Each structure stands twice: as C-alpha cells, then as structure tokens.
Structure 1
Amino acid sequence: MNEFDNTAIERLKSELVDHLNWGEAAHWSTRNFERLSEKIFETTSIQLSVSTLKRFLGKVAYYNKPAPATLDAIAAFLGYEGYMDYRWTVKKPEEPISQISKKKIFIYGLGVLVLMATVAAVSFINHGTQSIDPSKTSFSIKKVTTGLPNTVVFEYDVTKVDANFVEIQQDWDSTKRHKVNPSNTIFTHYYEYPGYYNAKLLVNGFVVSEKDLFIPSDGWMSAISYLNETKPPRYLRKNEFESDSVLRISTDVHNDILIHPDEVSLEFFNAFANPEFEFENFDFKANVRFNTQSGKVPCEFRKLIFFGTKKFIRVPFSVPGCVSQNTLRLGSLVIDGEENDLSDLSVESGEWSNIRVINVDNRLSIYLEDKMVFETDLIDDFGKLAGIRFSFNGSGEVKDLHLSSKGNVLLSLK
C-alpha cells in the first residue's frame, strides 16, 4: 500500500468517526459496530459485518489493506460515489507550487481521468455485454453434508467465454464475493449458520448464473455466537439445551454465559428443509424472556427473525432504556430507533413477554401482551416462509411457541 493510499484510508476512517460523533472508535462497544453496520446498509444497501468494521477502524488487529468493497461502501455511506471518488479528494504530499499550476494540473488531470474512465467503461460494457453468453457457462452447487457447519462446493466452467475476471458471490450480500481462477472449476465456502442463500456466478462484472442454496437446521438447533466474531460459533449439543416444550439452555451453559454475557449472543434456529408456504400469510405467538440476570449487560436485546426464501424481517425487543438502539427490519424497509419511536417494542428483563406477529396478505401486525404495537404493509416479495430465529444478547428462553400458516401448524412448543 503506498503512502497516498495510506493517507486516503486513514482520512476515511477519521471522517467516518467524525460523521458518527460517537467518540473514539477504540471505546465503541460491539453494539456501536452493529448500529454502524445497520446504518451503512440502510444508506447503501451494502452489508458490512461487525468484524469487518472492527478491523477497518482498528478495534481488532488487522494488518492487511481493507477490501475494495469495504472502502467503496464506507465512502458511499459518507456521500461519495465510491472510494476512488473519495481518494482523489486526498492530496498527495508534494512540493509547493503556484495556484495557477495547481489549477492547470487539476484541469489536465481531470480531463485525462474522464477520458480514461470513459474508454474503460465503454470497453468494459461492450466486452461484458457482447462477449459473455450465459448459455456457454455452467454453475452448480453441492452441500457436502447435512446440518452445521457445512461446506458448499461451487462448480463452475467459464472456459468457453472470454472471461478476464470471475467471481462467486456466496449469498445475497454483494460484498461477499470471491475472485476465482477462470481456468479452474471448483470453489468451496464454509457456512456457519442455517438459512437461505442466493449464490451467483459473475463474469467480467456481470451475473451469468444464480443458484438457490438452502441449509436447513434439522429441527431446532442452538448456538453461542461470539460478538467480536473472532471465534466460530459454538454449536450446543442436544444435552445442552431443551427444545421439546421450551427453548432453554442447560444450567452449565447458562453459567458459562454469565461469565461474559456482554460478549456472546445465544441463538435458537429452526430452518425448514422444504419451505412450502408463502411468507405473506402466517401467525406466530410465543412467550419470551431475557434470562441474563447478571447486571453486566445494561442493554439487553432480543431479536425475533422470520426468514423467507427471498428476504427476512427482524423484530427487535430491548429493555425500555435502550430502545433508541433498536432497528426494525422489514425486508428493504429499515426503521431506525434513533429516528423513530420504538418504545412500544420494549420488555422488562427477567419477565415473560407474550409476543404475537401476524401477517395477512402482507399486512404485518405486531402484538405485545395482546396490544398492537406496530402495523404496516410489507412492500417486498419475501418468497416462502423458510424458518425462524431467536437471538439474545446474553441468555434467554422461549415457551408456548406456535407458528402456523393458513391453518397448517409449522412449529409448536407445548
């Protein structure tokens, strides 16, 4: 990385921190990085993970240059067209010259850049649209096992087209692309969580094939996720959690969580092997509670996530004093707790809360203790109802769960 890149990236970091006005990034909590990830997605539709943002801002040690997609997303969040647009606003150190010379150099350089960009764009567009015939490429996916973790084998063939630059995008997130060798045919990727993924093969920047990939959970599964994302999730064994009449971890696991409850998230998943029912009609109800009770986590959060084969919704709940940090996600619609009053989506720590979510022809209603606290029309196509997930900062429990669609019982805890 040259000095000019270093200067631009360091200035980008400073501008990001100044823009947020949250204080020094070294003092941010994981929740701050989660909020930043959500804000960037809301502004740019690009998802940067918490670990990526921590590495970029130096919260965790990382000695490589940030990925171009990361730099582009952050620059776009700050109002630039991309990182290169931002980079050219950073002046390379040089000997003092007259204002007239600076102006001449700027005009000349701008003209050269515009010409180069135009030629490159025309060449790239012509090359991509005229040379790539998707029917002459192949793309397939294969899971190597059932359950989790799981490795997926992507097999591709682009030898019959003029492929200069080939990428495989392993899910819907466009930042998660891997450059692959056009001469090779195999790429593998490791998946840690169940869910629905849409994989893509891109040649010279254009999508030539898409494949649906679904990794089911084989019933209820539970995992402990580490919020700093430096460790893989710990999958709980069947004797470490209950899933018949209640979703609850064992006493030993609970005590382990209490040691550092602010560093972990408890997850319960149930991802269907064969989604059959449309997302636009379902009825869910359950009793849920925080169960950390250590005093170490002042802001306790729980997330209720319904995922479809195309998009997902995430309903957040927190203790009352922390609702400003909640974000309600309904497909492409994001409702931020800093700019909206989400105080009705608050519950007390250690107390059971009755939650109900009803979707009728994509009219979504959320109830808490039999009181409607939110209602809206869903604007996206979510596909089929593919599963459900509970996420607790710290620990939590779920009972009396019932999920149905048009009278068909999909999940039940009694």
Structure 2
Amino acid sequence: MENNLETDHIQYCLTLAEKRFNRGSSDRWTTYDFEKLSESIQEVTGVVLSVTTLKRLWGKLSYTNTPATTTLNTLARYAGFEDWSSLRAQPEPEEKQENEPVRIIPAIPATPPQEERRQGRRWPLWGLAMLPLAFVLYLGLRSDGRTTTPDRRANYQFSSNKTVLKGIPNSVIFRYDASAAGKDTVYISQSWDISRKFAVPKDQKEYSSIYYYPGYFRAKLMVGKEIVKEHDLMISSNGWLALADQQKVPVYFAKKEFLRDSIVMVDKEMLDAYNIQMQPELPDLRFFYVEDMGGLRSDDFRFDTRIKSTYSIGAAACQRIEVLILCKNDVFIIPLCAKGCEGALFLRAGNRFLESKDTDLSKFGRDLHEWVRLQVEAKDKQVRILVDGEVACAFKADYMATDIVGVQYRFQGPGAVKDTHFSNGERVINL
C-alpha cells in the first residue's frame, strides 16, 4: 500500500462493506461467502468484482499492489459513499454506527375478553391526566426516526408461485399487497440475505424474479427496514444438476453428459467442449441434489459419499473441494484437499466453525486422484466426520435441528461423485 493513511481508508472501507454484507466475521468466510459478496456488490453497484479480487482485498490471497481505482470506487459505493474520493475526504476514518437492525413486526396481541377488561383496576385521576402525555411519548417511541411507520395492524399479503414445478432456471412470481406501507419503500428479498433486496412498486401486486440455483430460500416482504411477511420457498434441482459457476448465468451441463452409470462427473474434456478455460483461474464446478427429504433432520442422520478430483495441474494443485449438506436455515460445510494443502481449511458443522490455523484438520488432506469416502454422522447433537473410515473430526455441538433439503459439491476444476446417500435408522435415501 502507498502509505498508512491509504491503508487505513481501505481497511475502513472493507469494514463498512463487511457490515453491510452482514455475514459474520470475514475470518470465517469461505469461497462461497466471497461469491455471495460478489453478487451483492453487483446488485448494489452494477459492477462485478471477481472472487479472486475480493479475496485479495480481504487478505485471503497474497497481493502487494494497491487495488485499482475502479475497484476502490466500487467498494466505496457499496459501503455507502459516492466514490473512493468521497471516502478518502474524511481525514481520519471513524467507526460509523451500524445500520439499523432489521426488525420483524410482532403479531398483534389478542384483545382480552370484555369481562376481563371490566375487572381491571380503575385509573386514579392523576393517571388519567397523564394519558395525553403518555400517548405522545408512545407515538415518539414508535416513530423510531422513521418518516412513516407501517401500520402494524395492516393486512400485508405475500405469496409466490413457481413457473415450473422442479428444475433450474426457475422463475418465481411474487404476489404482494403492501398498500398500507405509506411513504416507506417496499422491498422483496429472495432469500435470507436481505442485503440483496430489491424495491418493488407499492401500488402493484406482482413481481417476477429468476432463480438460477436450487436451494431452500426464505423470501421476505419488507417495508423500510422491517420484515412484514415471509415464507419458505423450495427450488428443487430435479435430480442431479451440474453447472459451471460464472457471473450472471451459470453454464448448465446436460444430464446425459454428466450422469454416467450412477456417477456424477464433469471432466476436462467436457469443460473443453463448452470452451471453459482451466488456467490461470480454475472454473468453479457445482453439483446439486436438492429435494424434499421427507423430514430428515440435521440432528439425526448419516451421510455417505465418495468423491474424486481428476485435475491437479497448475492452479489446481490443491484440488480443493467443499461438500455442503444443505438444511433449512443451516448448512454443514466439509472440506477436502490434496495432501500438503491442509493449512487453509475451514469446516462448519452443527453451528461450530473450525479452521486449520488453530485446529488439526490434517486428516481432510487426501490423494484425491483416487475415490475418497466421506461420512458425516449426527446423533443427539454429537457430530462425527470420517474420511476413508478414519475419524477426522468429532465434537459435541449445540445447534437448532432443522430439515435437511439436499447436498452441494463445490470443485475447483473437474470432479466426480458417486455412491451418495442419507440414512436414518433403517431408512435410506439414495441420491
């Protein structure tokens, strides 16, 4: 960096961006988090910052040069400034107050029965005299600095319908009624990530959006900063789905190309056929299987799969893989890598976050040119993860159980998966 003040401003900008992103400490971010950050920045600013660029800015990749001005302008806009010069105009970066937290409007309490109200104590005369003042104070507290407070008794409506029952891409038509919002802006958020909300006309009733990835989402109708309605939305993968991730629209592979004798595989030849370059940056390959698992719970299941990475040339030397067990409102993230690359691993399971910098995760390093067996077991909040039959990690977890909705595999470059299933007692769900 050019000087300490410039470094301070960049760090300040990153801090503000991290707060806006609202995804916890960046120390625990994985590639998946940086991908989501890239999407969020694009939606806010219209500019795409690559995952590699973001990782360099946050110190996840070695880089000694000063970031480009266009990059800094984009980050500054995402952080709430007009451009980088506006941010640097501050002589000393000062900690700003965090954005007002999103609040969920509580349900209106039921009116007590008339007989019960009659039995209440009578107000003294001095209390009656104070009622006007109390009412004014009440209105002041409710306003909370807003120009218009949404009517908490308003009958907001929010629902959605998919244009296709299963599969990706999938358009969703949101139907809403926010006519009681007054002067406040009305938003729809497609998922839990409210930073990716988009404004909708309050005098209209429908809005359509495209989902390019399967998963479980929690769609929200927001008035200002308040969530007034929300509902679950499941986008199924319709069996196995394989894609190469890229900006805007991913590259989808035909099922007859990647599903061979119960093996899900995308090799270098297939990537070459789609003109997807392997160097210098590796393509992000994704396998999905998202479906209703019939009430399979995250605190009582077994997961079993075999994985292989078939490419280790150049930037693919570490053959990094992440296996995600997808749950409603939760996720298990299990890493694998080539031997020698175990020093930069991150694991999440049962609301526990483990990193190789302070936890021994060396048993997740394997010869990935051969099939590697991965097993995850959760029972009574006790989590065990086995690699090739060897316990790689085990701990007691404290988390809220929820339904499992599927699995996702993340490869850097070509990869293959087979023999995947969930089980619970005698029940087996083959994928």
Match of 2:257 in 1: 240
Determine which of 192, 215, 223 is the counterpart of 2:243.
223
Percent identity of the aligned residues? Answer: 23
| Gap change, CA 1:163 and 1:337, over 3 Å in 2 | farther
- Is the counterpart of residue 295 in structure 1 residue 314 in structure 2? yes
Point out where structure 1 has 5 or more consecutive residues left out of the alignment: 1-7, 20-35, 72-77, 86-118
Determine which of 267, 274, 277 is the counterpart of 2:296.
277
Determine the C-alpha separation between the residues in 2 that align with 1:257 and 1:349.
Answer: 22
Determine the C-alpha separation between the residues in 2 that align with 1:279 and 1:172.
Answer: 19
Match of 1:40 in 2: 26
Determine which of 326, 330, 333 is the counterpart of 1:311.
330
| 1:70-219 equivalence runs, <5 A | 80=95, 82=97, 123-124=143-144, 131-133=151-153, 136-145=155-164, 146-162=166-182, 164-219=184-239
Q: Is the 8 A contact 2:217 2:233 kept in 1?
A: yes
Q: Is the 8 A contact 1:137 1:160 kept in 2?
A: yes
Q: Is the 8 A contact 1:279 1:382 kept in 2?
A: yes
Determine the C-alpha separation between the residues in 2 that align with 1:184 and 1:10.
Answer: 46
RMSD: 3.7
What residue identity is the alignment partner of 2:269?
A: D
Match of 1:105 in 2: none
Q: Is the 8 A contact 2:312 2:318 kept in 1?
A: no
Normalised by the size of structure 2, how large is the TM-score? 0.69
Determine the C-alpha separation between the residues in 2 that align with 1:285 and 1:373.
Answer: 14
State the secondary structure of the residue aligned to 2:314. coil
Deviation at 1:372, TM superposition (A): 0.7
Q: Is the 8 A contact 1:128 1:205 kept in 2?
A: no
How many pairs were matched up? Answer: 343
| Gap change, CA 1:346 and 1:160, over 3 Å in 2 | same
Q: Structure 1 residues 178-187 or 203-212, which shifts more? A: 178-187
Determine which of 368, 374, 381 is the counterpart of 2:393.
374
Determine the C-alpha separation between the residues in 2 that align with 1:375 and 1:353.
Answer: 19
Determine the C-alpha separation between the residues in 2 that align with 1:223 and 1:123.
Answer: 48
State the secondary structure of the residue aligned to 1:263. coil
In terms of Rg, which structure is larger? 2
The Cα offsets for residues 338-376 of structure 1, whole Å up to 9 and x where unpaired, read as 333322221224122121111113321100121111112
Deviation at 1:265, TM superposition (A): 1.5
Determine the C-alpha separation between the residues in 2 that align with 1:149 and 1:261.
Answer: 29
Determine which of 255, 270, 276 is the counterpart of 1:253.
270
Determine which of 363, 374, 397 is the counterpart of 1:344.
363
The Cα offsets for residues 251-309 of structure 1, whole Å up to 9 and x where unpaired, read as 63154557337331221111014643222211122221211132332232101111112
Determine the C-alpha separation between the residues in 1 that align with 2:180 and 2:335.
Answer: 48
Deviation at 1:215, TM superposition (A): 0.3
Determine the C-alpha separation between the residues in 2 that align with 1:232 and 1:12.
Answer: 34
Q: Is the 8 A contact 2:277 2:283 kept in 1?
A: no
Determine the C-alpha separation between the residues in 1 that align with 2:236 and 2:80.
Answer: 29
The Cα offsets for residues 113-134 of structure 1, whole Å up to 9 and x where unpaired, read as xxxxxx9986336877773225
The Cα offsets for residues 386-412 of structure 1, whole Å up to 9 and x where unpaired, read as 101111111111223232223222125
Match of 2:136 in 1: none
Deviation at 1:50, TM superposition (A): 4.3
Determine the C-alpha separation between the residues in 2 that align with 1:84 and 1:384.
Answer: 32
State the secondary structure of the residue aligned to 1:268. strand
| Gap change, CA 1:79 and 1:400, over 3 Å in 2 | farther
- Is the counterpart of residue 13 in structure 1 residue 10 in structure 2? yes
| Gap change, CA 1:59 and 1:157, over 3 Å in 2 | farther
Deviation at 1:41, TM superposition (A): 7.8
Determine the C-alpha separation between the residues in 1 that align with 2:206 and 2:70.
Answer: 31
Q: Structure 1 residues 167-176 or 122-131, which shifts more? A: 122-131
Determine the C-alpha separation between the residues in 2 that align with 1:320 and 1:362.
Answer: 30
Determine the C-alpha separation between the residues in 2 that align with 1:360 and 1:144.
Answer: 38
What residue identity is the alignment partner of 1:13?
A: I
Q: Is the 8 A contact 2:150 2:223 kept in 1?
A: no
Deviation at 1:218, TM superposition (A): 0.8
Determine which of 317, 323, 328 is the counterpart of 2:347.
328
Q: Is the 8 A contact 1:269 1:388 kept in 2?
A: yes
Q: Is the 8 A contact 2:148 2:184 kept in 1?
A: no
Q: Structure 1 residues 237-246 or 140-149, which shifts more? A: 237-246
| Gap change, CA 1:293 and 1:160, over 3 Å in 2 | closer
Q: Is the 8 A contact 1:198 1:210 kept in 2?
A: yes
Determine the C-alpha separation between the residues in 1 that align with 2:390 and 2:81.
Answer: 42
Determine the C-alpha separation between the residues in 2 that align with 1:275 and 1:166.
Answer: 35
Determine the C-alpha separation between the residues in 2 that align with 1:231 and 1:14.
Answer: 28
Q: Is the 8 A contact 1:148 1:194 kept in 2?
A: yes
Determine the C-alpha separation between the residues in 2 that align with 1:37 and 1:130.
Answer: 27
| Gap change, CA 1:223 and 1:295, over 3 Å in 2 | same
The Cα offsets for residues 110-167 of structure 1, whole Å up to 9 and x where unpaired, read as xxxxxxxxx9986336877773225x11001111223111121111111134351222
State the secondary structure of the residue aligned to 1:66. helix
Q: Is the 8 A contact 2:142 2:149 kept in 1?
A: no
Deviation at 1:208, TM superposition (A): 1.2
| Gap change, CA 1:339 and 1:294, over 3 Å in 2 | same
Q: Is the 8 A contact 2:280 2:315 kept in 1?
A: yes
| Gap change, CA 1:275 and 1:173, over 3 Å in 2 | farther
Point out where structure 2 has 5 or more consecutive residues left out of the alignment: 16-21, 42-48, 58-66, 83-92, 101-138
Determine the C-alpha separation between the residues in 2 that align with 1:60 and 1:290.
Answer: 38
Q: Structure 1 residues 125-134 or 175-184, which shifts more? A: 125-134
Q: Is the 8 A contact 1:293 1:349 kept in 2?
A: no
| Gap change, CA 1:169 and 1:232, over 3 Å in 2 | same
Deviation at 1:383, TM superposition (A): 1.5
